Amino acid sequence: MHNATIKSLAADLAARKFSSVELTRHLLSRIRALNPKYNCFITVDDAASLKQAQAADDLRAAGRAGPLTGIPIAQKDIFCAKGWLTTCGSKMLSSFISPYDAHVVEQLNGAGAVNIGKTNMDEFAMGSSSETSFYGPVRNPWNADNVPGGSSGGSAAAVVARLAPGAIGTDTGGSIRQPAALSGICGLKPTYGVVSRYGMIAFASSLDQGGPMARTAEDLAIMMNVMAGFDARDSTSLERAREDYTGEIGKAVKGLKIGLPKEFFAEGAEAGVTGAVAAAISAYRKLGCETVEVSLPSMKLAVPVYYVLAPAEASSNLARYDGVRYGHRAQDYADLTDMYKLTRAQGFGQEVKRRILIGTYVLSHGYYDAYYIQAQKVRRLVARDFAEAFRRCDVIMGPTSPTTAFRLGEKVDDPVKMYLNDIYTIPANLAGLPGMSVPCGFDGSGLPVGLQIVGNYFAEAKMLGIAHQYQQATDWHLRVPPGCEG
């Protein structure tokens, strides 16, 4: 049952082929066996998961089951879950038992989903490799010497290793799409404001967006139906009517106009990546799609803009970790300022401190206009590029990441090199557009490649339908990493 999709598990649960308790027990035993190798999970709580599974089975017996009732979903440890250790991959929160649920967690619980565990991640979601976690690096199930991508690397690795059929993640500069690509699964970053950020530990608030990760686009759609929606507790949550994200699953893609930004194909991507992406685009042509070249001329400015905006917002958001109300507090200190300084020096890892320093500098007196305001202006240029491109096409496609999964330790000491790994994913965050990654093949070393699909605002259902058609024609998402077949 661990190879089954959310959709087929739901059908089997409905047909009483097995119970949620049986399914949950099975996945917990797989986690026990495989997690020591991949380090996908920070917290697994058998009793809590099984209690939810039993409640889901009871809900079903009462005739009140929905599409996610009894389905185990892994949760990135950035989402507050009441009664669960919620660490955000940081020593700072290594003893934080959340007193409340994030909106997304509340929605999943309300739908009867089972929290199968809290997944490992880059500390405070700052990273592209899941190596900066206080709990040690996550390893890629396709090759344990390589990273799974990040920051939602634990969620991605858990889904591809068949430890969970789906997971939730967050994406500030690519943190859902890039690990989905490097681990060989599907991941969707919705339009900014579609999924509530309430209870999702803040990194860069104008960019952060939660989303689903699973093995098929159809499963992402099923998860979106539960996760998305207006929430008054997030001041940037959009007031929109409920939408059925499965609405375009099964719709033909004939006549679809695919925009190929020349900057996505210019240079910099590995041959194994460009080859697989080109083949995927050919597959779409065979399905009757047209392709048109478009341009995103400001794209190369996206990474520099991001590394002003995200650290600036992070330095402000992370000011709350002062050792007073929750989280780590230093033991020995001279006075209050000393307590703050030592608490933060001990509680945060190197990458988080680096970004706090960058952010504090760009927001400091005399630099605000030159950095933050200038970055917000260039951000608009990036968004305008997309608006122009979408006059000529329905969706944009290209690689999700310029490389496949790289070796552990390869980039961790060179921040700029690590940052440039997100060159194709950051533009959609800056523009607030929905973006997703779909498995589209493997490179010469047997590592997965992701095809990125970027749509116009609120085009999630359409994009999921487009990805679904590709998955009907290909079987990349059915490949199982060696050792995970079970």
Partner 1 sequence: MIPYAAPIFKASLPVFMALTLDDVRRVAHLARVAIDDAEARAVLSQLNDVFRLVAEMQAVDTAGVEPMSHALDVTQRLRADAVTEADQHAAFQSVAPHVEGDLYLVPKVIE
Cβ proximity to partner 1: between 223 and 358 the closer is 358
Give me the least distance between CB of 107 and partner 1, in Å please. Answer: 19
The nearest distance, CB 326 to partner 1, in angstroms, is 4
If the CB atoms of residues 160 and 296 are measured against partner 1, the closer one turns out to be 296
| Location of structure tokens 């860069």 | 204
Could you give the strand order of the β-sheet that contains 395-399, starting from the edge strand earlier in sequence? 41-43, 114-119, 72-76, 166-171, 209-214, 186-189, 435-442, 448-455, 395-399, 257-261, 290-294
Question: So which residues are the catalytic ones?
Answer: 76, 151, 175
C-alpha 50, offset from chain centre = 25
**Sign for the pseudo-dihedral over CA of 59, 98, 196, 31:** negative
Nearer to partner 1, 264 or 476 (CB): 264
Geometric angle at alpha carbon 337, from 331 and 340, rounded to 5°? 50
User: Helix, strand, or coil here: 187?
Assistant: strand
Q: How far is the CB of 106 from partner 1 (least distance, A)?
A: 15
Report in angstroms how near the CB of residue 395 gets to partner 1 at its nearest: 17
Cβ density class 348-378: b for 16+ within 10 Å, e for less: bbebbeebbebbbebbeeeeeeebbeebeeb
Instruction: Please give the C-alpha separations between residue 125 and each of 89, 121, 176, 234, 425, in angstroms, as whole numbers.
Output: 8, 6, 10, 19, 15
Strand ranges, E, within 83-234 = 114-119, 166-171, 186-189, 209-214
Among 175, 240, 180, 233, residue whose Cα is nearest residue 208: 175
Which residues lie closer than 8 Å to 278 by C-beta, 6 or more apart? none
Least Å distance between CB 37 and partner 1? 32
Name the residue nearer to partner 1 (CB basis): 361 or 442. Answer: 361
**HSE-up of residue 341 (Cα within 13 Å, Cβ side):** 6
C-alpha–C-alpha distance, residues 191 and 434, integer Å: 4
Q: Quick one: which of 132, 135, 114 has its CA closest to 124?
A: 132
β-bridge partners, 291: 258
Structure tokens at 465: 């339908």
Q: Which is nearer to partner 1, 40 or 195 (CB)?
A: 195
Q: Closest Cα to residue 276, out of 113, 448, 408, 143? A: 448
Q: Which pair of structure tokens corresponds to residue 300?
A: 């190369």
Query: For residues 141 and 193, which CB has a smaller minimum distance to partner 1 in the complex?
Result: 193
Least distance between partner 1 and beta carbon 296 (Å): 9
Nearest CB to partner 1, comparing residues 231 and 270: 231
Closest distance to partner 1 from the beta carbon of 307 (Å): 6
